[in-house]
Structure 1
Amino acid sequence: MTQRRVVAWTSVSLDGYTSGPNGPQHDSWLYEHAMKPQTLAYFESVWRGATTALLGRTNYVGFHSVWPGITADPQTDERTRAIGRWLNDVEKIAFSRTLEKAEWNNSRISDDLEGTVRELKAQDGGDIMIVNSVSIIQQLLAADLVDDLRFAIVPAMVGGGLRLFGEGLPESRWALAETTALEHGAVGLHYRSV
C-alpha cells in the first residue's frame, strides 16, 4: 500500500495573501485568475488525483453555496462543471467546532484535524487535498502532515488580508517538483516535503 499524500492547494498574491483585506468576496484579482481557462486546466491537474477534500468551515459553507448552482448551469463551461462534479462527489471533511450538519453530498464534520488526517493517511485512497483553507494548511504544516505544497502565485499585490504562511510555523525543507507558467502571468508551483 502506498501512503496517501496530503496536498495543500491555494492561490496566493505576489505579496503572500490568499485573500485581501476586505475578505474573499471582494477579491476580484482571485476570481479573475480562477476563471481563466489555463488556470482551470492547471487546477484540474491538481485535483484529479485527490479522493478526499479537506475544508475549513468558511470554505465548506461558501463552496456549498455556489458550486452546485455553477455545476448545474448549462451555460457553465465543461471544465468548470467537471470541477463542480468533483467537488460534489469527492469525500469532503469540513473541520469546524460550530457546524452542526454536513449538508453537502458525501461530506462529514470533524473537530479533530490532526487525528482525522493521520487516520486518512493510513487508509487506501488517492491524495488528500486541502482546498484553499489557510487555517488547515497552517495547522497541518505545524504538525508536519503536509507532503505537497501546490499553489498558484497570481500577479497582484493586495496589501493585506489573510497570509498563507504566518509566523510560528516550524522550520521545514521543500524540493521543487514542478513549475507551470500560466498565460496571464500566474505561476503554478509544486513543492514536495524533503
Structure 2
Amino acid sequence: MTSSTGHGSAGTGATGRRVTANIGLTLDGRYCGPGGPGDLGAIVRYATTDVARDHLGRIWESATTALLGRVNAEGFLGFWPTVAGDDAADPRDRGYAKWLAEAEKVVLSTTVTEAPWERTRMVNAPAPEVVAGLKAESGGDILANSSPSVIKALLAADLVDRLYLLVCPEIAGGGPRLFEDGLPGTRWTPTRQDTGELGETALIYDRVR
C-alpha cells in the first residue's frame, strides 16, 4: 500500500461548513454498471478492503450532516443500523454505522414527506438550495453520501469543497458516469492517496477556490 498526503484548499461557508461528497467509481468513471443501480460488481468487492474501510473512517470524522437521495437513504438505513449493533462487525464499519444513526440526515425526495428514520428530515427541494440552507446553520461538514443524483447537482452548482473517491481498478464499459459533460470547469488539489493490494485507490481532492 502506498499513501501520500498534502494540504488542500477547500472552501467553507459563512458558518465554516464544508460540503463534501463520497462515492465509489470504476476506472471509466462510473458509479454502477450497465445493469443499473444494482449493478455494483465492479465496486462492491473493493469496499471491504483495509484501504476502503480506513477511507470510510475519514469520510465521516468531521461531518455532522448526511445529505442523501431517497433511494440511497432507504438502502443505507435498511442495512447500517444492524451493523452498529453487531459486535462481530469490523470496528471501522461499526463506527460509520453509529455515526450514520446519530448524525442529522437530510433526505431529498419528491414523493416521501414523512421521515421513517430518527434524526431525519425529508425535503422536496433542489440539492443546491438545501445545501445553502444547511450552510447557514451551525455544524460540521455536510456529507453528500454516495448519492449520485445529489452529488451531480452539487458539482453542477460548484458547491462541493471536498471529494472522497474510491477508484476501483475495473472498467465497467457502460452505466452512468459521475462527471458528465457540461459541468463547470474547476480545479482540485490532491490531499491524500492510498492504494490497496487489490489496486483500489482511495483519493481525497479539495476544491481550489
Q: Same fold by TM (over 0.5)?
A: yes
2:87 is the counterpart of 1:74:
yes
The structure whose residues are more often helix, as a share, is 1
2:159 is the counterpart of 1:145:
yes
- What is the percentage of aligned positions where both structures have the same residue? 40
Runs of 5+ in structure 1 lacking a partner? none
Runs of 5+ in structure 2 lacking a partner? 1-13
Q: Secondary structure at the match of 1:33?
A: coil
Equivalent residues of 2:107, 2:123 under 8 A apart:
yes
TM-score (structure 2 length as normaliser):
0.86
Distance across 2 between alignment mates of 1:23 and 1:174: 29
Give, as a single letter, the amino acid of the residue that structure 1 aligns with 2:154: L
Give, as a single letter, the amino acid of the residue that structure 2 aligns with 1:140: L
Distance across 2 between alignment mates of 1:77 and 1:172: 37
Q: Deviations over 1:76-120 (max 9, x none)?
A: 222211111111111111111012321122111112222221121
The range that moved more, 18-27 or 145-154, is 18-27
1:7 matched to which residue of 2? 20
Once the 2 structures are TM-superposed, how far is the Cα of residue 169 of structure 1 from its aligned partner? 1.2
Q: Secondary structure at the match of 1:9?
A: strand
CA shift in 2, pair 1:124/1:168, >3 Å: same
The range that moved more, 116-125 or 84-93, is 116-125
- C-alpha root-mean-square deviation of aligned residues, in Å? 1.6
Distance across 2 between alignment mates of 1:82 and 1:2: 26
Q: 1:174 aligns with which of 155, 178, 188?
A: 188
2:169 matched to which residue of 1? 155
Equivalent residues of 1:49, 1:126 under 8 A apart:
yes
Q: Secondary structure at the match of 1:20?
A: coil
CA shift in 2, pair 1:102/1:138, >3 Å: same
Once the 2 structures are TM-superposed, how far is the Cα of residue 73 of structure 1 from its aligned partner? 3.0
Q: Secondary structure at the match of 2:164?
A: strand
Q: Secondary structure at the match of 1:46?
A: helix
Written as runs of structure 1 = structure 2, the 5 A alignment for 1:104-115 is 104-112=117-125, 113-115=127-129
Distance across 2 between alignment mates of 1:19 and 1:12: 8
Written as runs of structure 1 = structure 2, the 5 A alignment for 1:1-194 is 3-112=16-125, 113-194=127-208
Once the 2 structures are TM-superposed, how far is the Cα of residue 41 of structure 1 from its aligned partner? 1.2
2:7 matched to which residue of 1? none
The range that moved more, 5-14 or 78-87, is 78-87
Distance across 2 between alignment mates of 1:138 and 1:42: 21
Q: Secondary structure at the match of 2:205?
A: strand
Once the 2 structures are TM-superposed, how far is the Cα of residue 2 of structure 1 from its aligned partner? 5.1
The range that moved more, 144-153 or 20-29, is 20-29
Q: Deviations over 1:27-73 (max 9, x none)?
A: 23322111123211111012111100111111011111111223233
Q: Deviations over 1:104-152 (max 9, x none)?
A: 2211111222222112112221111110111111111111211112211
Q: Secondary structure at the match of 1:40?
A: helix
**Matched positions, count:** 194
